[in-house]
Amino acid sequence: MVTINRTPDTNLLDALGAANSSVRLQAALAAGTRADPGLAGALVARCAIEPDFFVRDMLTWALTRLPAEVTVPRLVAELESGRAQARSQALHTLSKIGDRTVWPSITRSLLHDADDEVARSAWRAAVVLAPPGERDGLAADLARQLGRGDRTVQLSLSRALVALGDAAEPALRTWLASPDPGVRAHARATQRLLLDPDAGFDLAVDEAKRIVALGPERAGEAAC
């Protein structure tokens, strides 16, 4: 049984919403150090609106210090928020907590969210939380988004697929024949990273684009 303090420190709560980001950062640190379950609601709520990356990171750390039975239901509820940052930060925090019972809440709509930051957070969380029997299906679903977004988004997707290991290979092969050259290049670059995780993403993309541009009849020659 988790004991929840119904009257958390009002000074600490005020500090979490202070105008100065350094004050908010110290408040989040204090909340994590104190690890009072009564602060869970305030911490989750602050995650949805906190503009500073470092403060958000500290808020996530503070939440991981609390009992999962207190934080996880609140975070799962945030996945249906109309605020993109609330969804993204909840996903990020759930991936850090690592409670695999959350997997059913990582829906296809989150994996394909129109907001890139939400989708990227969903990809990372899904890779951490997916049970072994779901990884093939997850890889196929993620691969449907090959070619999406800018370099940052594509790198996140490639990393998620590479983290799925062997499950990603069949999905990548499917998209190597895409009529879209951008999708083919992203699939080939990700396949290269899967085979050689130490290969640089930009180099893998450049090589893939050259091969795609040369066409299948010279792909073998370019790969040599």
C-alpha span between 159 and 182 (Å, rounded): 17
Quick one: pLDDT at residue 223? 43
Q: Are 113 and 88 in contact (CB under 8 A)?
A: no
Quick one: pLDDT at residue 105? 97
Quick one: pLDDT at residue 10? 85
Quick one: pLDDT at residue 209? 65
Domains (ranges, CATH) in the chain?
1-129 (1.25.10.10), 146-224 (no CATH)
Quick one: pLDDT at residue 9? 78
Quick one: pLDDT at residue 158? 95
pTM of the model: 0.86
Q: Angle CA(156)–CA(160)–CA(164) in degrees, nearest 5?
A: 165
Q: Give the CA-trace dihedral at 57, 98, 153, 43, to 10 degrees.
A: -30
- In which residue ranges of the chain is pLDDT below 50? 217-224
C-alpha span between 8 and 206 (Å, rounded): 54
Which residue is listed with tokens 């499917």? 174
The two structure tokens encoding residue 98: 């690592």
The two structure tokens encoding residue 102: 């959350």
**CA distances to 127, 152, 161, 224 from 200, in Å:** 21, 13, 15, 18
